[in-house]
Structure 1
Amino acid sequence: MAQKKWFAPIEEKTHDIGELDLPKKCLVLDDDEDFVRVMTDFLQTQNWQVHTAKSGVEGLKKIMADDFDLVICDMVMPNLPGDMFYLAVERTRPRLCRRFIFMTGHKGDPKIDAFIRRVGGLMLWKPFQMHELQMAIQSVLRKATRMEESEQTN
């Protein structure tokens, strides 16, 4: 008696769903709620998942609890200004330091200028337009990706 085949042979099938465009995570640190709202709205239209912090201390708690693809940081904030926040991140999550965009309305402040030169940071001067932010994001992410790829090959 011939045996019945209950199951068809397994055929491997693959489906090309293209590149998944998952949102990337961004942390925005600024104590100006209206400004943060505008930035958050813009970043969300660019497929970013936005987390916010009103101070460097609050930002550090978020950095310790989660990983981010980008950090946009105001230089002048209460309870830990941008430069001190950066230095704390440098000690705890150094990989994130290449993913910072700094911003300030204090153009010409020698302390801020010296800090940005020392860390090789990218600065946006407030007020800025959203296309300037988009160009800064692309620049920072390209640079960070190149550095990470270079580290992996060495």
Structure 2
Amino acid sequence: APPSEPCREAAAEVPAPGPAAVRGRILVVDDEWNIREVIRRALLNRGHRVDTAETVEQALALAGKGDYQAILCDIRMPGPGGAGFYRSLLATAPDLAPRIIFMTGSALDPDIETFLAETGCLHLRKPFALEDLVQAVERLL
């Protein structure tokens, strides 16, 4: 047998990277555990590293130490909410602010619509398909 045969057999056992070969570190911010968990699992299944935060305060602490390629953030949360999180990031880590993807169930709230337009950030309207969420995240990578 030619000497390249064992290499060819070994290479056949290594799965080829799929189209989502780019992996990122993602922060998921939502006060609802079940939503955080579903999103976390969907992103882990795609090979991303995922941290989660239940509050804006937790999210700001993580954002201060983490190098995130994308941050998924619910707009309506207790305390300062997604808008307060965004403004705090602008002040403390301005390079992270454009990496936020907002999630909102408030499709017709004019204040939220104005806020989203002002930020220029990507946003998803609940309910959304997990595949849409994954695609939005991977656009930022």
With structure 2 as the length reference, what TM-score do the two structures score? Answer: 0.80
Shift in Å, 1:23: 4.5
Are 1:98 and 1:140, in contact at CA under 8 Å, matched by a contact in 2?
no
For 1:133-153, what per-residue CA distance to the aligned partner results, in whole angstroms no more than 9, with x for missing partners?
122123333xxxxxxxxxxxx
Aligned to 1:77: 77
Higher-Rg member (1/2) = 1
For 1:71-94, what per-residue CA distance to the aligned partner results, in whole angstroms no more than 9, with x for missing partners?
000001112200110010011111
SS of the aligned residue for 2:107 comes to coil
Q: Which runs of 4+ in 1 moved over 4 A?
A: none
Are 1:72 and 1:100, in contact at CA under 8 Å, matched by a contact in 2?
yes
The residue type paired with residue 25 of structure 2 is: K
User: Tell me, which stretches of 5 or more residues in structure 2 are unaligned?
Assistant: 1-16
Tell me, yes or no, if structure 1 residue 86 matches structure 2 residue 83: no
Q: Considering Cα pairs closer than 8 Å and 6+ residues apart, tell me whether 1 or 2 has the greater RCO.
A: 2
User: Tell me, which stretches of 5 or more residues in structure 1 are unaligned?
Assistant: 1-18, 142-154
Shift in Å, 1:98: 1.7
Aligned to 1:119: 119
Number of residues of Structure 1 aligned to a counterpart in Structure 2: 123
With structure 1 as the length reference, what TM-score do the two structures score? Answer: 0.74
Q: In the TM superposition, what are the counterparts of 1:1-154 in structure 2 within 5 Å?
A: 23-141=23-141
